[in-house]
Amino acid sequence: MRRGALLLLLASCAPAPRVDPALQPRVEEVVRQHRAKGKFRELAIGFRRGGEIGFVGNPDAVFEIGSVTKVFTAILLADMVRTGEVKLEDPVSKFVKVRNPDLEEMTLVRLATHTSGLPRLPDNLVIRDPENPYAAYTVAELERFLSKCDVGEPKCEYSNVGMGLLGHILAGARYEEIVVSRICEPLGLKRTRVKIDGIVPGFHADGRPAGGWELPTLAGAGALRSTARDMLAFLAANLGGAPEPLRGVMESTHAPRVKAGGRMEVGLGWHILPLGERRAVWHNGGTGGYRSMICFVRETRTAVVVLGNNESSVDELAFDILKALN
């Protein structure tokens, strides 16, 4: 039996999570208060406390999750470090075809912690279609950018091109295939893919329909789509429910590595923020017509995912649900 099939069989034999009848109305009240502000269209929400789970909205509706993809890229990096395929301190110059002395100092771990010195976006990104801004950006253009870019100080500054470059180094054009085989299949995530049918329509802030985003070259920065059910299962895996060796790999991405200003810290891909005496580990995402947020507190085994199909941030809603669970 294939390893992935065996893991799914074992998972199917595990006790089903329970839904706490007292927990559901508490979460629904938080959602009701936020919805009363009139910002949201469709929401899909999943939440977990210990072995108890619940959903608000359609848990199987597919949304673009944008930069939540970055934590998958970071987990892929950590898994490839485990297997000896790469090292955290490998220089970017080892993997790209261009000559730029600054790439000798830029390492894979700096890409994963947003300390690469790269800007948020490449300066040669020409947006040919505002509804799909990254679709036409090619590997050749990425290499031209890297050959001429001036790398800044190694302080923590969020970089889409940095994490996109990391995904390109680790997987190239096979990003979806490799993430699915090494992360999604072992965790039983059946609806977390780059290309998937049935996505919920997205909308701009003014109500106009939004086109879906494609990121063929920078997939590691934001190309995945998923559901609340899959994302809640992903968070359960981050809370210790993943099979080994993936469990240890995922836990290694949670450790704080750099300061990001204020009380915020960054691990491999993840953001880390104090929540009282505990720590919330989280990442959000946004594309042209979608917003996403996933977060968890390991000490209390609580987790929340919120997916929305317009440009209104869901971050505050997700954190308020997380506080209600804690």
Considering only residues 274 and 192, tell me which one the structure prediction assigns the higher pLDDT.
192
Q: Classify residue 123 by burial, with Cβ atoms within 10 Å: 0-12, 13-18, 19+.
A: exposed
Considering only residues 14 and 184, tell me which one the structure prediction assigns the higher pLDDT.
184
pTM of the entire predicted model: 0.92
Within 8 A by CB and 6+ apart from 96, the residues are 103, 143, 146, 169
Containing 24, the helix (H) or strand (E) segment is helix 23-35
Average pLDDT over residues 152-181: 94
Q: How far apart are CA 64 and CA 11, in angstroms?
A: 26
Q: Hey, what are 313's tokens?
A: 């941030």
Domains in the chain: ranges and CATH: 19-325 (3.40.710.10)
Position 188 scores a pLDDT of: 97
Q: Nearest to residue 72, comparing CAs of 135, 166, 199, 136?
A: 166
Residue 245: is the preceding peptide bond cis (ω within 30°)?
yes
Position 19 scores a pLDDT of: 57
pLDDT digits (tens, 9 = 90+) for 100-147: 888 888 999 999 999 999 999 999 999 999 999 999 999 999 999 999
pLDDT digits (tens, 9 = 90+) for 217-262: 999 999 999 999 999 999 999 999 999 999 999 999 999 999 988 8
pLDDT digits (tens, 9 = 90+) for 2-59: 444 433 333 433 444 555 667 899 999 999 999 999 999 999 999 999 999 999 999 9
pLDDT digits (tens, 9 = 90+) for 81-99: 999 999 999 999 999 988 8
Average pLDDT, the chain: 92
Q: How far apart are CA 192 and CA 186, in angstroms?
A: 12
Q: From the CB of residue 2, how many other CB atoms can be counted at a distance below 10 Å?
A: 8
Q: Which range (97-101, 300-304, 316-320) has the least confidence?
A: 97-101
Position 8 scores a pLDDT of: 39
